[in-house]
């Protein structure tokens, strides 16, 4: 699945078993939005079906994602990607609460900066609880999980979330792990270069190898630089 974050012309995207919900977690400014966009493009072009991309509008406009060079920005595939601008967690909840009402279920839903949609103060007030933000995330993730699992009974549907973490890993991993079995993390590897690695928490953990993809956004393009097996487990 790690290949689906990159250009299909540069790396072969295999149709292996894909977990329905995936998290991409990384430090700020490491190209997460770009990887998400590539993923959305790949999903749309492979299945020729709708993909919904949810993000904060002003953030997207101030930091546009980088596409890989061989992708034509005027490609018809982008018409299949439906942008949905959201401001907070209530909007995400409303969307997934009504997910079963879609006539045509999208083949993938991508949510950029999932964690940022949860405002500390608002959540604490809403639940009158100092851990309000964690509580809100638990509820929203449970709702997403239920929406996607139900949708998959009728047609394949994937959910990809991204979150920003400071330091070595996300503090909220203990919450995410409960509903998300496939987690990718990004680590810096020199200026503009990064390593993307998958950690699998699902039942099949230990059967598959952990792989690391190297990529760069140094020259304002998403450049795939190779995949290796992870030797340090």
Partner 1 sequence: MSASSLVAESVWKSIESTRSVTEDQLSILHFLFGKNIERATRIVDQRGVRRISGEPSGRSIFKVVGESRRKEEYLCFAENYCACYSFFYDIVNKGEQLCCKHQLAARLASALGACVEVNVSDEQLALLLAKL
Question: Using CB under 8 A as the criterion, which residues of the chain lie in contact with partner 1 when the complex forms?
Answer: 93-94, 96-98, 100-101, 131, 134-135, 138-139, 142-143, 145-147, 150, 153, 174-175, 178-179, 202-203
Shortest distance, position 174 Cβ to partner 1, whole Å? 7
Min separation Cβ 147 and partner 1, Å: 8
Least Cβ distance, residue 154 to partner 1 (angstroms)? 9
Q: How far is CA 146 from CA 15, 21, 91, 127, 233, in A?
A: 24, 11, 16, 22, 32
Distance from chain centroid for Cα 204: 21
Which CB, 136 or 195, lies closer to partner 1? 136
**C-alpha span between 168 and 186 (Å, rounded):** 10
CB 115, min distance to partner 1, A: 16
Rank residues 35 and 147 by Cβ distance to partner 1 and give the closer one.
147
State the minimum distance, in angstroms, from the CB of residue 37 to partner 1.
Answer: 28
Measured from the CB atom, the residue of 36 and 148 that comes closer to partner 1 is: 148
State which residue, 134 or 225, has the beta carbon closest to partner 1.
134
Angle at 62 between CA 136 and CA 197, to 5 degrees: 60
CB of 156 to partner 1, least distance (A): 17
């Amino acid at each position: 699945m790690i290949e689906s974050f990159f250009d299909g012309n540069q790396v072969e995207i295999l149709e292996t078993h894909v977990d329905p919900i995936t998290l991409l977690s990384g430090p700020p400014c490491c190209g997460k939005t770009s990887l998400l966009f590539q993923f959305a493009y790949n999903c749309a072009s492979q299945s020729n079906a709708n993909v919904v991309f949810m993000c904060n509008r002003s953030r997207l406009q101030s930091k546009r994602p980088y596409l890989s060079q061989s992708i034509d920005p005027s490609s018809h595939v982008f018409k299949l990607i439906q942008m949905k601008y959201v401001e907070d967690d209530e909007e995400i909840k409303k969307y997934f609460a009504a997910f079963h009402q879609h006539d045509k279920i999208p083949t993938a839903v991508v949510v950029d900066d999932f964690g940022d949609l949860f405002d500390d103060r608002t959540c604490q007030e809403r639940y009158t609880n100092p851990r309000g933000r964690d509580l809100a995330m638990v509820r929203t993730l449970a709702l997403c999980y239920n929406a996607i699992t139900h949708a998959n009974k009728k047609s394949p549907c994937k959910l990809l979330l991204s979150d920003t973490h400071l330091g070595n890993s996300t503090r909220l991993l203990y919450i995410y792990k409960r509903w998300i079995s496939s987690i990718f993390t990004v680590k810096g590897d020199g200026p503009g270069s990064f390593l993307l690695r998958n950690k699998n928490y699902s039942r099949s953990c230990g059967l598959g190898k952990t792989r690391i993809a190297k990529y760069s956004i140094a020259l304002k393009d998403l450049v795939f630089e190779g995949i290796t097996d992870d030797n340090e487990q």
